[in-house]
Amino acid sequence: MKKAVTMILIIFIMSFISLFSVSFATAINITDTNTTSKIIETKNSMANAVDQYITNYGSESYGWTAYTLHVISIYSIPVCFLGIIVGALFQYVIGVRRLDMRHRGSRMMMAFITLLVVAQVLPLIFALVVRGWVH
């Protein structure tokens, strides 16, 4: 019963936060030309990167997939390191007194290490398969 109430409360809080973030995002007016030029510059650089991937792989779907895997591999590094740090805190700090927290920390660390390895190796495997066997 506690788990169900907790899950409903979490869903309610997340929807409440997302509602406010959408309303605040629409209320912000971008009037600064410097900010607008930075946004346009970032958009153009992303389009150029995607175009390079499309020309390298010879297909639009392969190019977009390679670009997506590249972005995932970049952003997975800090997320996984934070997860490993939290898992280490559970295992070595909180787990000193409680054995269940020690196991939880070790499982969390193993999951984030596995996720990090998969996210870093997947673009390489994709490139080898597509460039090696298809072309």
Give residue-wise pLDDT tens across range 70-121: 999 999 999 999 999 988 888 888 888 888 888 988 999 999 999 999 999 9
Provide the pLDDT confidence category of residue 45 given band limits of 50, 70 and 90: confident
b/e 44-75 (16+ beta carbons within 10 angstroms → b)? eeeeeebeebbeebeeeebbebbbebeeebee
Which pLDDT does position 134 carry in this prediction? 58
pLDDT score of 111: 93
Task: Tell me the CA distances in angstroms from 48 to 56, 63, 130, one per residue in order.
Answer: 12, 12, 21
What are the residue boundaries of the structural domains of the chain, listed by start?
A: 1-30, 34-134
Span 7-37, pLDDT tens digits:
666 676 666 666 555 544 454 554 556 777 7
pLDDT at 118 (0 to 100):
93
Taking each helix axis from N to C terminus, what angle separates 99-129 and 60-88, rounded to the nearest 10 degrees?
A: 160
Question: 102: part of which helix (H) or strand (E)?
Answer: helix 99-129
